[in-house]
Amino acid sequence: YENYERLKFSNRSLAMAEQQEQLPCPDYKSYLSEPDESCKDFIMQQTMMRIKDPKRSLDFYTRVLGMRLLKRLDFPSMKFSLYFVGFEKAEDIPADEEERTRWMFSQKATVELTHNWGTEDDPNFSYHNGNKEPKGFGHIGLAVPDVYKACERFESLGVNFVKKPNDGKMKGIAFITDPDGYWIEILSPNKLPTLE
């Protein structure tokens, strides 16, 4: 019996090893090393998304998601504006505009909303959200204390859902869309999603 159990365990281990080899990038752990010293002060500063109508987008990112408008930059000769939003405290934002610009570009994980002037007046204009064919960009993610409470609020505000927390096989995460159809994952580090 002992030899049978050993054989069973050995076969199971072999199957797991074979399965591991079939996964893409089986040597991913080799990338867990320390980054090059020359990169130690790099940060992930922004994700840029093109928007059709700044009024609708700014309302969504500030009032609905709770971000703050950190800085607006206008480029009249090229007919576009940039709106940087993020989760920063009002008291941390410098009053001086030049200092504010430098400060904003040193914050982590901001969203840069890019508006090419005139798109808001074209009823047929829309951007590709990356989740339609051909697929590319997927989503940004928002960590919240409680996914279910956050989604109740989003629902009361008329936000569009791609997936509600209890939909599908993965429970405890949701996907909503912004006014341009970009997906936003809603997750909680306090309660990670479960598979059913």
Residues known to be catalytic: 185
Q: Are 158 and 169 in contact (CB under 8 A)?
A: no
Angle at 138 (CA atoms; ends 56, 46), nearest 5 degrees: 65
Per DSSP, helices labelled H in the chain are 2-22, 54-59, 97-104, 147-156
Any idea which residue has 């505000």 for tokens? Answer: 157
Helix (H, G, I), strand (E, B) or coil at 26: coil
| DSSP assigned state of 187 | E
Pairing relationship of beta strands 174-177 and 160-163 according to DSSP bridges: antiparallel
Q: Are 174 and 166 in contact (CB under 8 A)?
A: no
Contacts 24+ apart (CB under 8 A), 150-153: 150/174, 150/186, 151/176, 151/186
| DSSP assigned state of 190 | T
